[in-house]
Structures are given as C-alpha cells and as structure tokens.
Chains A and B, each alone.
Chain A
Amino acid sequence: MLYLHIPFCKQACHYCDFHFSTSLRQKGALVDALIREMELRNDYLSERVLSSVYFGGGTPSLLDEMELAAIFKAIEQHFQLEPQAEITLEANPDDLSIEKLKSLRDSPVNRLSIGIQSFAEVDLRSMNRAHQAHEARACIENALKMGFDDFSIDLIYGSPSTSDAQWLENLRIAFDYPLPHLSAYCLTVEPRTALAHQVKTGQALPVDENQATRQFNTLMVEAEKAGFEHYEISNFAQPGRYARHNTNYWRGKPYLGLGPSAHSFDGHSRQWNLANNARYIQLLENTQAEKLPASGLYEIEKLSPAQRYNEQVMTSLRTQWGLDWKLIEPQFQAHFLQSAQEFLASKHLVQEGQTYRLSREGRFLADHIAAELFYLG
C-alpha cells in the first residue's frame, strides 16, 4: 500500500485540518521531492508489490499530466503494481473537466474519490468549497461519460447549513447515479481550523448532536434501501465495491506514506513526516539515504502490544467484519471479554461465534465503546 500526500488546495475549506498550502508555487518542487522520498524509502515495506496506491490531500486533482506521469514513472521504477491494483485519486469537482477526466483515464488511475460534500449551494458556501452545486452533478455525469465506473463520492452531514430535508435530497441525488461507493462524514469541528474559530467567536453554530444523530440514521436507512453495505462507520459500498486501500488500514496492513504530513506503518511502529512543504522540499534536496533517520523528516512511535491491541479494537469494530477474538494477542483476550460484557448486555455489541461487531445502535457510540475496551498498561 502506498499513500501519496499532495499538499495543495485552491482554497481552504473551513472544516479541514489536513496539511495543505493554498500557494501552488512549490508544486513542481514538491513533486520532485516526493519522488526523491520514494527513492530513499522504497525499502520501507517488506515487499515491493503494491496492491493499492492512493493519492490524497490536499487536492491531488491539482497535479497536471506531467507531474502525475513523473510520479507513476517513479512508482514503476521502485515498486511493482499488482495487475488489479486499486489506484485512487482524490479529486475536486471544479478540477474534473472533460479534458482532465480524459487525461486521468489515460493514466494508471482507475478510481476517483470525488469531494462533492453537498449538492446544495448553501452548504458549499458555508464550507468554503471551491466548487458550485451544478459542478457537483456535472462532474459525476462527466466521470461516468468518460468511463470511470469505479468511483466514490464524499458527502458531509451534520452541518448547521444542512437541513434534514436537504440531507435526504443529497442522498437521493447521489443514489440516482450508478454509484458504487459513498463516504459520508459527519462534520467535525477540528481544533485550529477556520470553523473552530467561527464556532468560538459565534460566527458559526457548533454541530448539533441531535441533528447529526438523525442524519446519520437517515444515511443508514437510505443507503440500505439503495442496496449499499454499511461496511465502515463512514463508508458504504455496493456489494464487493469496497475501497480496498482504506479497508486495509482497518485491517492493520502496513503502508508507506510519502509527502509532507504523510503517515507510514510497518506493523510495529507508526511514523509521520513533518508537515511543512518548504522544509520537506529542502530536506529531501539535501539528505542522503543513510542520513534520513536523523534528518528530522519524520518522527517515529513504536507501538507497545497494548497500543496495537487498542488500535485493533478501534479500527476493526468500525467495520462490518468486526473483531475476530482469535486475532487478539492472548494477553489481552481476557481483558477484552471482560470489558465487552457491558456492551453485549446493552446490545451495543453483537457476538457471533468468535466475532464481535457493533450493532446498529453501537455504531452511534463507536468511540466510547472502543475506549472502554482499551487496555491501559
């Protein structure tokens, strides 16, 4: 699994706390640095065969044809792509012109994740999205026209600007398309974002829990009616059309993340790159492979057995496949069984053989339940 972080955006969405810059000046230099990092760290994963590549951001659809080609050339040079590898690129509607779609179609990219967020102008403006409502629909139609039958759209609910009726409308519009995959996120007020500032100063309302609960419920009902599997808290797929790259995160598979702020995981430790484009570029221009660990490019955290268990509980319970008790390290098995009793009794957890899953009610409280099942040394 390979993740590439493209830290540029045309404008800043008010809710976003990912690392990006709205100045595109360094885009070329950053792509060069990213390729350089790939060269330096191509031995991070134990095997070089990739089952998936994911371009995230930021806004990867800001990469031009040449930049994308250079990255793919480097991927081919340092790794081997599986024949059916899933290659996803996050794209914003305003970038997806027919021309752009055609160019992507001719690249190895075989899956798009489109940041629609809403089909309503009022939502898009309150979130400070770069696109307009009509572009939201047009880009889906164009993607389908250009033969992208594998794609996902992102929608956001829970925003004070999104009425219950509007949310239902957004879902109906989405489900009218032959949509294989939907990611639907509850708006979250993250610290140090424009939105957090607006909430603090009274310019924006905080997320209303009752509204968020209602809309999450609507989402589950409507997605099921439309034939989707609710396979992760925020992810819905037509049968078999799961996002393979993301699903592997929740299964604890190792991955290499390249680019500023990107995270990597080798099964035992997690590491994350510094979140500063200029420093990132400068470091990669001047650092040799053997000097990389001490360069300050990334920080590493080795996971203790308890931390690995906690992550396993947290991520696997979010999925429809749940947590397989046999896969828990023996030292935590008893702790799990004991702490799970409360939630089995309250029917937030469901047990089927050795497998534990969140019930429909449990999904509303996934974090609370995970924390209760955690083991603290």
Chain B
Amino acid sequence: MKNIRNFCVIAHIDHGKSTLSDRLLEHTKTIDKRNMVDQTLDNMDLERERGITIKSHAIQMLYNHSDGQRYTFNMIDTPGHVDFSYEVSRSIAACEGALLLVDATQGIQAQTISNLYLAIEHDLEIIPVLNKVDMESAMIDEVADQVIDLIGCKREDILLASGKTGIGIDDIMTAIVNRIPAPKGDPEAPLQALIFDSVFNSFRGVIAYFRVLNGRLKKGDKVKFFHTANEYEADEVGILQLNLIPQQQLEAGNVGYIITGIKESKEIKVGDTITTYANPCPEAIKGFEDVKPMVFAGIFPIDNDDFEDLRDSLEKLQLNDASLVFEPETSVALGFGFRCGFLGMLHLEIIQERLSREFNMEVITTVPNVSYYATNTQSERFMVRTPVDLPDPNYLRTVEEPYIRAQIITKPDYIGSIMTLCMEKRGILTRQSYLTTTRVELTFEMPLGEIVFDFYDRLKSISRGYASFDYQMIDYRASDLVKLDIKLNGDNVDALCALVHRTKAEAFGRRICQRLKELLPRQQFVIAIQAAIGAKIIARETISAMRKDVTAKCYGGDISRKRKLLEKQKEGKKKMRQIGSVEVPQKAFLEVLKLNE
C-alpha cells in the first residue's frame, strides 16, 4: 500500500489536462507512443471533439522512481463541467492527492476553484502545476501569484510544465511520489469500496470503477451495494490500464473495476459503497447522494413515426448515462415524445447532440424548465416537472423554485455588465472578492430557472469570453411564478407553456407572440396569438387572413415552375401540426424556442 498513489487532475476545460495525461501515460510506458491517439482518456468522439471530458475515467500506471522503487499511480480523471459536480466530488473522495493544473496563459477559472475547494474539503494534497509554460503568452509570475493566493502554498511548490513538449513531467512524477501520501486503510477490515464511476460496455454490461478504502475484494465474492441494497457476484475484478486487466483480488488503497453482469447503468449509483455479503462493513462511505435531474425538457421526434426509434435511442443513451431520465409525454402540439430530465444545460446539449450524432435522430426540444415544488390550497406539496402540470392559479398556494449559488470569475472591466445581467436574472450579489488585481470573483444567489435559457450565451458575449461560471444548488425558495399559456385562436399550445416570474411574464409573452407572428403562415382566417396568465390575456398579436394568393402569370414555362412551387408548399403543409383550427409548421416550434436570437 505504501507504494500506491491515488490522485486526480483538477483543471478547467482547455487547460491541457488531457494532453498532460497523455504525457504521463507515455512516460510510464502505460501506452506505446505509436498507439497513441491524442487525448487517449477522452474516448467518446464528442469528448474528443469538444475537448472536454464528459465522463470520468481512471487509469493505472506503473512508475519506476529514481529511489529504486516501483510505484502504482492511479490517476482518476474528472469531468470538467458544472453539471457533473457530484461525480467530481466522488472522484475526489477516491484520491489522496490532486494535481491542480492551471493554464499559464489564462489563469484560474471559476470551475477550477470550485473543484479545488472540493479537493481541499477532502484533505487532498494539492500539487499546483502551471501548464503551457512554453507558450509566449504564458504569464507565469502572475498565475503563480493567483495560485499562492488561493491555496497558500510556497512559490517553489509550484511546478512548471508543458504537456505539449513534455517539460516538467519528471518533476510531476517525483512530486506525486514524495508529496501525495500513500493511502491508509485496513486490508483485514470488512470490505468498504467507493464507486466513483461506471461505464457501459455492450459485451460486458455495466463496469463499475471503485476505490477500496478497507478490506479486500476477491473475484467470486458475493457483494452487496449499500444504497441500492442489491446483491451480486463479483464475476470479474481487476485493474484499469488502457484495457481491463483481471486480478484475483484488490486490496485496500487500490483502484479497480468490478463486473457483475449488471445490464443497466441505473442499477449502479455513483457514490455507493460495495461491501461483502458475508462480512459487511458497519456503515456506508459518507457523501452519497441520489443525483436528481434539475433541468427538464420535452424531446419530440420531428416525424411522429420515429417515436419508437427515439425511445430506443434514449434507452441506449441511458445505458451509459444513468443521470438521464425520461418518461413518455404527449403534447397536443408535438405529438408523442418524452419528458427528459438532465443534470444541467450542458448535459441537455450533450444528449441532444449524441441523439443526432450517434443515432441520427432529429428532434424538437421544448423550452427547458427546472423542477418546482407546488403547494395547493389543500396544503399538499408536490414536485412539478412540466409547467403544464402546475395547478390552476385558483388552487395554487405557493410555488418554490430551485436556487443556486453562482460563482463568476472575470476581469474587473466586465463587473458592471455582468451585474446587470445577473440582476436582470433575479440574482442577488452576496460576495465580491478580488483574487488578484485583474481577477474578480462574484458570487450570486439566483434561480436556476433563470440560467436554463439565455444566460450562458449572454454571459459569454458581454464578457467577450472572459468570464467563467460555476454553480451549486442551494435550496428551494418560494417565488412569484406564474404559468404562461400561449394560445392560438383560443387553443393552448402546450409545447410553449412556461413558468415565468410575474414581473417578466409580460415581456416574455410579448416576445413569444411576436416570434410566432413572424413564423406562422397566414391562413384563410384571422389568427389571434395570445399570451395568458390564467384567464387574463397579457399580450396579443394578430395575423390577418390571407387576402390574395394567386400567381399573376401562368403560361408555357410558368406552368411546371408554379406546379412545383405549389407542390412544395403542400408538402410543407403535411408536416404542420394542427392546433385547434390553426396549422403550425414544425419549424415554428424550433424557431420560437430560440428566444435568445
């Protein structure tokens, strides 16, 4: 155990984590340089393309140190986005140390800080590394100052490296050996292992990654998962190199995988404790949470005939992404589809993109909303996942919405416009602190519902990209939210129903009505577009009836041209959705929801 080092890498997107990881793998000869695909650890196409790690992974390396001893390094990769902060916390809980990797050309970002605090909370030994020091734009002294301010280390503790050229890799190796403590734990105690991740493999089923805190896990053991209370047989246990390497047993301090024949990711909960059936540990490892989706949206196939295909695709995605939840939903406007729950907005985007990329499914996604608690006049409190389900105002006592604590790190120049944006989004500034003279951290409390649309893009554009953002859920708070219905000639368009704050309802309603006016084709009758709260109309637009639709010229060459045009027009109409008497092109649903354009 004294020669094991378990560590993770904390870094912001693009700060070079994957490249540096690749150098470590090369240096320890875990993988051959010839077989190296850049950023080996990110093995989903999408991850490689976006340059971000969506799911965490783990890998074991063997390192022969100059002290003549051989060390086992377990490097646990962590996802780099706010939506996955629970997964990050479990990965951190599996380690004794962390490399804090900071891009010397960019400095510390908000995401890095929140993950760093998580690591400090778990008493991890932090090894600060400035990456990309070979670049001309590297600001080594300035970024080193930020690091010192943040973790109170000495300047000489900060390592300088370049994942690209390999500078500093030896120093990192030595620091891992000398500075990160060896794991503690009792191999003779009852088994207590922490699940920090799981992946789906179509041949092997679900593979869970764990860290043994105490005891040992042997092949063939009958094991029990604490929180799900499920029991399985350990069909295979082993260590993770680039491939799975089966072992007879894994002992306290080590990191490995277990295969039990589980077919669905849902059965394995990250953060759960594995113990043996025969000699169970008395208590579970602390910190387990059953992660609940925070953002919901309807996903509908463009073509209603593709409903079953969409179900298949979502089921397949769920196999390796247990945080995705969905249930069938029927919309008058959009037909049959699913109400899906996501960890956050990035998660939603990833699912949408994977549906399109991996399954070739083109879908309509409705306005995302968060989950609310409603209390009716009978004092019953229940969760509401779609605005349509909110009771009528007459029977509604209160609505509570989730609040987050948001950290934004930016340059002082942008404080003004970021404050304006956050206040517009009902945010309350709780703290403002200067990390250095050129970097300021703003902390807001704000409703999660306000960031589900229209926030990231605006933050990015008002700060010209110099703002990093992170958030944690804090609580549910009562808010003056109203259900906004959109009506076409008096019929509700359920797909456009939204819960909005009363003070913003009118502006929001007006915007949707105006967009619809641009998007709906005229018909033979007048179309009234209305936004309503209960029975009260708060915005209205009118589309006048089509008065004249006739080609002037229809001679020789005009005939086939005009026929084709009208055939195309009719073809388009086949794809329209009928809402009451009004025909709505599907495109309109897609477009009207792009509210930020």
Question: Which residues from chain A sit less than 8 Å from chain B, CB to CB?
Answer: 3, 56, 185-188, 209-210, 212-213, 216, 232-234, 246, 249-250, 255, 257, 261-263, 265, 270, 272, 301, 307, 310-311, 314-315, 318, 346, 363-368, 370-372, 374, 376
Contacts and interface: CB of A to CB of B under 8 A. Distances in A.
B202 interface: no
B556 A365 contact: no
B50 interface: no
A324 B170 CA distance: 91
Contacts of A315: 554, 559
A365 B549 contact: yes
A169 B569 CA distance: 36
Contacts of B524: 346, 365, 368
Contacts of B562: 314, 367
A246 B548 CA distance: 23
B203 interface: no
Contact of A318 (B546, B549, B554, B573): B554
A56 B557 CA distance: 12
A372 B562 CA distance: 14
* Overall SS of chain B's interface: helix
Contact of B555 (A212, A246, A368): A246
Nearest to B568: A371
Given A249-B556, A376-B570, A367 B563 contact: no
The 7 A-B pairs at the shortest CB distance, nearest first, are namely: A263-B557, A185-B552, A366-B550, A371-B566, A368-B549, A263-B556, A213-B547
A258 to B, nearest CB: 11
B546 A368 contact: yes
27 contacts: A185-B552, A185-B553, A186-B548, A188-B553, A209-B548, A212-B548, A213-B548, A232-B554, A233-B550, A234-B553, A255-B556, A262-B556, A262-B557, A263-B557, A270-B560, A310-B563, A311-B559, A318-B554, A346-B524, A364-B547, A364-B548, A365-B546, A366-B549, A366-B550, A371-B566, A371-B569, A371-B570
A272 B548 CA distance: 30
A335 B147 CA distance: 76
A249 B555 contact: yes
Contacts of A246: 555
Contact of A314 (B548, B555, B563, B571): B563
A214 B327 CA distance: 53
Given A3-B556, A261-B557, 7 more contacts: A212-B548, A257-B557, A262-B557, A270-B560, A307-B563, A310-B566, A367-B562
Nearest to A311: B563
A307 B571 CA distance: 13
Contacts, number: 101
B552 A234 contact: yes
Contacts of B566: 310, 314, 367, 370-371, 374
Nearest to A363: B550
B556 A364 contact: no
Range, interface on chain B: 20 to 34
Contacts of A234: 552-554
Contacts of A365: 524, 546, 548-550
B560 A311 contact: yes
B549 to A, nearest CB: 4
Interface of B: 524, 546-557, 559-560, 562-563, 566-567, 569-571, 573-574
A301 B573 CA distance: 24
B556 A366 contact: no
B556 A265 contact: yes
Contacts of A187: 552
A301 B559 contact: no
A372 B570 contact: yes
B352 to A, nearest CB: 31
Nearest to B571: A376
Nearest to B562: A314
A210 B544 CA distance: 11
A196 to B, nearest CB: 15
A65 B557 CA distance: 27
A299 to B, nearest CB: 11
A265 to B, nearest CB: 7
Interface centre among B556, B562, B566, B569 (most CB of A within 10 A): B556
A208 B567 CA distance: 25
Contact of A186 (B552, B554, B571, B574): B552
A255 B557 CA distance: 11
B556 A233 contact: no
Contacts of A366: 549-551
Contacts of A186: 548, 550, 552
Contact of A376 (B549, B551, B567): B567
Nearest to A263: B557
A154 to B, nearest CB: 10
A314 B547 contact: no
Contacts of B551: 188, 233, 366-367
A235 to B, nearest CB: 10
Given A368-B549, A374-B566, A314 B556 contact: no
A11 to B, nearest CB: 20
Nearest to B556: A263
Contacts of A370: 566
Given A314-B563, A367-B566, A376-B574, A210 B547 contact: yes
Contacts of B571: 376
A197 to B, nearest CB: 20
Contacts of A3: 556
Contacts of A270: 559-560
Interface centre among B546, B549, B559, B563 (most CB of A within 10 A): B563
Nearest to A272: B557
B242 to A, nearest CB: 54
Contacts of B573: 371
